[in-house]
Amino acid sequence: MNSRHTWLAGVDVGGTTIKLAILTEEGTFIEKWEIPTNTADSGHHIPSEIAAALRLKLNALDTDFHALKGIGVGAPGFIEAETGFVYQAVNIGWQNYPLSERLEKETGVPVFANNDANLAAAGEMWKGAGEGAPNMLAVTLGTGVGGGIIAEGRILQGAYGMAGEIGHITSVPEGGAPCNCGKTGCLETISSATGIVRLAMEKVHRGESAGLKEAFDRAGSLSSKDVFEVAAVGDQGAEAVVEEAMFHLGLAIGNLANSLNPNVIVIGGGVSRAGDRLLRALRPHFDRYALPKISAETTFEIARLGNDAGVLGAAWLARQQGNRSE
């Protein structure tokens, strides 16, 4: 049986599933599992369902909540880090919801909450591609473009927990594509998986890429990885899409690096499955727009933790904040 208060729980609340993990203080997984996200009643059942899932697993490990030093929770939305109060998490249903308070009441364990993109960044800093880098920029290229900024080993929160919204950097100041945020021309309309596929489908519809059309006809859909692969065999239409997406990403990240001076930039999310192909296409644009010294000293890495980044980052948060409040 575990001695008291030495383990950590990491929880990553998504729109469809909640990922949970129990870890040692050193970040070694003891258990890792998922439960469905119950979005009924504006997500009000979620804290008790997280608590029940943790209790069952701890009991199976022949222990209880006393084994936990803290619980870290990430969710997609605007969250006040100090209080764990969720202003809004649209996909979950929470609005002005005291997440940490509710989960502490259910478990009796200190709870620390933060935005999921920030915690994925923290996870990569702790155990992944940014391991040991005190200054890190994490960019997640998925449905949207998410960001997490680590400065001197801490999550950069900003005034209202909104720091890191790099997907809404404006890449096209006039006449850009509409974005979910209400603006137009945001980076995520171009360089996200969604953006890359949108640009690729334009090429298909205009008959400007035989390779993309063939890939689309074969599978009935296109992924951003398809676009990188078709570009790699010399299809000019696909190459133009990759260039456009990587130009805007390199410009935005280069500008950010001039302001933040990170040791390492970690690229994750579905688009990062293109791996070295992505980095080779991205780097020249970054090098052109970053200051010479920044471009010389900043390294790029593909994220390593995949879906584990969120629970690892949540556990890191519980460890860091728990140590601080002792």
Using CB atoms within 10 Å of the CB of residue 19, give its burial: 0 to 12 exposed, 13 to 18 middle, 19+ buried: buried
Q: What are phi and psi for residue 59, nearest 5 degrees?
A: -60, -45
Q: Is 35 in the site for a second copy (CB under 8 A)?
A: no
Whole-number Cα distances in Å, 220 to 171, 244, 324:
30, 24, 52
Minimum separation from the CB atom of position 46 to a second copy (A): 24
Q: Count residues binding a second copy (CB under 8 A).
A: 47
Instruction: Please give the residues from 124 up to 153 whose contact with a second copy meets the rule CB under 8 A.
Output: 133-135, 147, 149, 151-152
Q: What are phi and psi for residue 281, nearest 5 degrees?
A: -80, -30
Q: Is 180 in the site for a second copy (CB under 8 A)?
A: no
Tell me the residue type at 1. Answer: M
Minimum separation from the CB atom of position 289 to a second copy (A): 5
Q: Is 76 in the site for a second copy (CB under 8 A)?
A: no
Q: Hey, which residues does 145 pair with through a beta bridge?
A: 141
Which region, judged by CB under 8 A, interacts with a second copy, from 9-17, 59-67, 154-162, 188-196?
154-162
* Pairwise CA distance, residues 119 & 114, whole Å: 7
Which region, judged by CB under 8 A, interacts with a second copy, from 21-29, 114-122, 162-170, 230-238?
162-170
Pick the closer one to a second copy by CB: 27 or 134: 134
* Pairwise CA distance, residues 46 & 247, whole Å: 41
* Pairwise CA distance, residues 230 & 212, whole Å: 7
Minimum separation from the CB atom of position 101 to a second copy (A): 23
Are 5 and 69 in contact, with CB atoms under 8 Å apart? yes
Q: Is 183 in the site for a second copy (CB under 8 A)?
A: yes
Question: Looking at the chain, how many residues does it have?
Answer: 326
Q: Is 121 in the site for a second copy (CB under 8 A)?
A: no
Q: Is 177 in the site for a second copy (CB under 8 A)?
A: no
The one among 160, 214, 236, 275 contacting a second copy by CB under 8 A: 160
Provide the terminal-to-terminal Cα distance of the chain, rounded to the nearest Å.
23
CA nearest 181: which of 165, 194, 205? 165
Pick the closer one to a second copy by CB: 166 or 238: 166
Pick the closer one to a second copy by CB: 27 or 153: 153
The one among 164, 195, 268, 313 contacting a second copy by CB under 8 A: 164
* Pairwise CA distance, residues 21 & 314, whole Å: 9
Q: Is 181 in the site for a second copy (CB under 8 A)?
A: yes
The site for a second copy (CB under 8 A) is made up of 78, 133-135, 147, 149, 151-152, 154, 156-166, 168-170, 173, 181-183, 247, 251-252, 254-256, 258-263, 288-289, 291-294, 297-298
